[in-house]
Amino acid sequence: MALTTAPDPTRRGPGSNRAHASRRGPGHLRHSEGLAGYVFLSPWLIGLMGVTAIPMLLSLYLSFTNYDILTPFSEARWVGLANYERMFTADPSYWHAVRVTLTFALIAVPLKLVAALGVALLLNRAWRGIGLFRGLFYLPSLLGGSVALAIVWVNMFNRDGAFNSLLSLVGIQGEPWVNDPDWALETLMVLAVWQFGAPMVIFLAGLKQVPTELYEAASVDGAGRFRQFRNVTLPMLSPVIFFNLVLETINGFQGFTAAFVLSNGTGGPVDSTLMYTLNLYITGFTDLEMGYASAMAWVFLLAIAVLTAIFFSTGRFWVHYSDGEDR
């Protein structure tokens, strides 16, 4: 690194008189230290600017153009609000994708959180070997957005997949799940719910934070397990629930990999798995309408921001922070 080989300005030696001269005053020193601060920040700053901020702003600009990827964006034509207009008034598949995504998130996210909380409650004990179970339950979410997992899913849930073989043992003839437009999205939901590891771990940590004296007091007052759960665990856990809800909702809306792999990148069968991000991808990269796709991305960003704002504004009614502050 260039920084580590830089000569020390305070070092005694041939150049020391010059180095000394640089100390003109405290103000100047502070200024150059501030600059040094930015230099040390630069790896992150360059990353933020280059990888996130600049491309984002660029995509905002492109969303007002007819940029098609193949021609340089300096030649993209300004079309004003046409992309946004088309999205809201003239593109049925856009609204179809919105519906698919909402359906997916509305069902998969709550189920995933319930599963995560349920398993976290089960695993919140001091049994021997419980660590192993925690690890096992967490495993699926490590495989997360992986393509391999989605491929396994496709093979498990088609007409002659493993799942139908199981069903046939009990005499049920299964559907061709992933290849059936009535079931493909549900299959994706199951996959999402099954990967409940990340929120589960956070729930577990939250459960461990609940002071045991609250439970003791509650049981002295004659509260049963259910009442303890409802009146102690849930309120104490509400910040964690809130956190998981916000995070998982955002994740849910952004679901892409599984839908992409399951449908060979088409959103099929018959657009049943056409998630918002997949539609955006197809629009940008297959149909070569990157300007329009950028507009979709910005509407998506705003929608998620609004949704998160709604969560935060309703949070004060049900999220209980036990830091003494009355919210």
Partner 1 sequence: MHPATPPTTDTPVGRHHRTPRPRRRLLRGLLAATVAAPLMFGAAACGDDGSAADPNAPVKLSIFWWGGDARAKLTEDALALYTKKHPNVTFETTWQANQGYFDKLATLTAGGNPPDLFQIDDNYLAEYAARSTTLDLTSYQESGKLDTSKFPESLWQYGVVDGKLAGLAAGENTQGLVYNKTLLTKHNLPEPTTGMSWEAHIAWAEEVSRKTGVPGTQDPSADYKAFWVWLRQQGKDLYEGRELGFTAEDVTRWFDLWKGARDRRATPTADVIHEGNSSDVTKQLVVTGKSATSWVWANQMPDLKKNTKDELGVVAYPGDPSAQWARASMYWSVFKGSRNRDIAVDVINFLNNDQEAVKLLGTDRGLPSNLDLRRVVSDDTTDPAMKQSIAVEAELTQKFGESPQVPIKGHSKVKSELIKAAENAQYGRATTAAAAAQFVEACKSAIA
Q: Tell me 157's DSSP state.
A: T
User: Which of 30, 47, 48, 50 is the binder for partner 1 (CB under 8 A)?
Assistant: 50
Query: Token pair 């990827």 is at which residue?
Result: 69
- Written as six digits, the tokens of 193 are 């719910």
Stretch binding partner 1 (CB under 8 A), from 198-206, 213-221, 266-274, 295-303: 266-274
DSSP 61-88: HHTTB---SSS-GGGPPB-TTHHHHHHH
Query: Token pair 């008034």 is at which residue?
Result: 89
The answer to the question of residue 173 lying near partner 1 (CB under 8 A) is no
Residue 179: CB minimum distance to partner 1, A: 4
The answer to the question of residue 165 lying near partner 1 (CB under 8 A) is no
Stretch binding partner 1 (CB under 8 A), from 67-75, 100-108, 197-205, 291-299: 67-75
Footprint of partner 1 on 178-207 (CB under 8 A) = 179-181
Residue 143: CB minimum distance to partner 1, A: 21
Residue 90: CB minimum distance to partner 1, A: 8
**Closest CB to partner 1 among residues 7, 25:** 7
Closest alpha carbon to 215 in 230, 200, 204, 201: 230
Other C-beta atoms closer than 10 Å to the C-beta of 254 total 16
Residues 153 and 257: their CA atoms lie apart, in Å, by 12
Q: Convert residues 26-45 into a mask of x (bound to partner 1 by CB under 8 A) and - (unbound).
A: ------x--xx--x--x---
**Closest CB to partner 1 among residues 17, 212:** 17
- Written as six digits, the tokens of 205 are 């940590």
User: Which of 47, 57, 71, 162 is the binder for partner 1 (CB under 8 A)?
Assistant: 71
- Written as six digits, the tokens of 1 are 């690194």
Stretch binding partner 1 (CB under 8 A), from 8-16, 145-153, 219-227, 310-318: 8-16
Report how far apart, in Å, the C-alpha atoms of 44 and of each of 3, 7, 50, 55 are: 16, 24, 10, 16
The answer to the question of residue 164 lying near partner 1 (CB under 8 A) is no
The answer to the question of residue 21 lying near partner 1 (CB under 8 A) is yes
Report how far apart, in Å, the C-alpha atoms of 153 and of each of 111, 211, 262 are: 19, 41, 8
Phi, psi of 187 (to 5 degrees): -60, -40
CA 54 to chain CA centroid, Å, is 21
**Closest CB to partner 1 among residues 64, 67:** 67
Chain residues binding partner 1 by CB under 8 A are: 2-3, 6-7, 9, 14-15, 17-19, 21-22, 32, 35-36, 39, 42, 46, 50, 68-72, 90, 93, 158-159, 176, 179-181, 264-266, 268-271, 282, 285-288, 290
